Amino acid sequence: MCILGSTGSIGTQTLDVVRAYPERYSVYALCAHRSVDKLVEQALEFKPEVVCIADESKYEELSRQLSAISFQGKVWAGPDAIAQVVTMPSIDVVVAAMVGYAGLRPTIEAIKAGKTIALANKETLVVAGEIICDLALKHHTPILPVDSEHSAIFQSLVGEEQSEIEKILLTASGGPFRTYSLEQMRSVTAADALKHPNWEMGAKITIDSASMMNKGFEVIEAKWLFGVPVEKIQVLVHPQSIVHSAVQFTDGAIKAQLGAPDMRLPIQYALSFPERLASDFPRADLFALKDLTFEEPDLARFPNLGLAYEAVRRGGNIPCVLNAANEVANLAFREGRCGFLQMSEIISDTMTRASFIAKPAYEDYVASDKEARRLAEQMVNGK
């Protein structure tokens, strides 16, 4: 396999699965953004054929450290190298776990090369869902979801190929600010937002979870993965994170997947599908669960979820604009350059001001991403 984003949360947990089944899985390529020390540790343990780092300024440091441990494989750097490595003949599965828009191009190249995609990078489908789905169909490339919610939906649909979906029930934890008032949310810090009650994730996705933009992205992702209109996707706030998501069919039956909040389970299922492999992951103890509760999301306090629905309804390049503006606002919040509630204002204004393209090609997505980032940065800087 090739792991894109090997030093991040999904990447490191994917390597946990590889450790558990060394006779079944081998790592051909490890790709990371800029975490040199962690990447070197992984290369020492898993001995891949290729190690690649996206940040070209880190190439010399990476090469020096790998030489010091007598690494025998290839050492590459830059976005072009990552887009090339995913096409190598020896690779069967690409775990797409890079954060944000950066994951789009290598995922496209991997699909064109006919690799099975274990998809954790939801922004790929948010930005260019139509292109991705068309390419996957053209090249007969399986896309297996790694997100816990989409894995739960996928698992609930196994054996239901002839059944019509009435509704997808997409669960959300509600994040650290689920019970906060708007007034309280005005003064929260990035440190507050990074304290997720149930999941351990990278900084960007944890902030997205706190603002519920992550759930908005998952709505868009579900539309493309499962071929349902957005009107059939309902978000339920489920603070316990035990029901990972569910599907309601036209006869009224609901099938759900339950489990402890541990990302290794959906990662392993994506890698082993259609088999299930034994694991020592934590089990959900149903006898110990006192309550499983579900709430309507509050769009007044969490407008990012509403913006995601708006973006997918407007269509065209607007979901791409949504994603780019969110990446800028998310980083600005983490750096203390804007407030928590200001993120939604920046995203909404960018969606209003950006050029609309009804039928975007790949080049249009690239241009829209650049334009939206420029507009969002202007708003962060008060221009």
* Nearest residue to 1 via CA among 221, 279, 272: 272
* Nearest residue to 318 via CA among 341, 366, 352: 352
H-run or E-run covering 4:
strand 2-4
Give the dihedral sign, CA 302/304/309/310: positive
Between β-strands 254-258 and 243-249, what pairing exists: parallel, antiparallel or unpaired? antiparallel
Q: Report, as an integer, the average pLDDT of 9-38.
A: 96
How many CB atoms neighbour CB 156 within 10 A? 22
Q: Return the pLDDT at 195.
A: 84
Query: pLDDT tier at 203 (50, 70, 90 boundaries)?
Result: confident
Sheet with strand 243-249: strands edge to edge: 233-237, 165-172, 243-249, 254-258
Is the full-model pTM beyond 0.85?
yes
d(CA 31, CA 53): 6
Q: Which tokens in the block code for residue 102?
A: 């950066």
Burial tier of 94 (Cβ tally within 10 Å: 0-12, 13-18, 19+): buried
Across the chain, how many H-helices and E-strands are there?
16, 11
Give per-residue pLDDT as tens, 95-129.
999 988 888 999 999 999 999 999 998 889 999 99
Percent of the chain residues past pLDDT 90, beyond the cut: 91
Give per-residue pLDDT as tens, 145-183.
999 999 999 999 999 999 999 999 999 999 999 999 999
Q: Torsions phi, psi of 57, nearest 5? A: -70, -15
Percent of the chain residues past pLDDT 70, beyond the cut: 98
Q: Return the pLDDT at 332.
A: 97
Q: Report, as an integer, the average pLDDT of 220-247.
A: 96
Q: Report, as an integer, the average pLDDT of 204-214.
A: 93
Q: Return the pLDDT at 182.
A: 93
- 350-381 in b/e form (b: 16+ CB < 10 A) is bbeebeebeebeeebbbbbbebbbebbbebbe
Q: Return the pLDDT at 199.
A: 65
Q: Return the pLDDT at 289.
A: 86
Average pLDDT of the chain to the nearest whole number: 95
Q: Return the pLDDT at 202.
A: 77
Q: Return the pLDDT at 122.
A: 87
Longest distance between any two alpha carbons in the chain, whole Å:
63
Residue 383 predicted with pLDDT over 90: no
Give per-residue pLDDT as tens, 360-382.
999 999 999 999 999 999 999 98
Residue 212 predicted with pLDDT over 90: yes
Helices (H), 54-212: 59-68, 79-85, 104-112, 123-138, 148-157, 182-185, 190-193, 203-211
For the chain, which domains are there? 2-145 (3.40.50.720), 150-288 (no CATH), 315-380 (1.10.1740.10)
Q: Return the pLDDT at 129.
A: 93
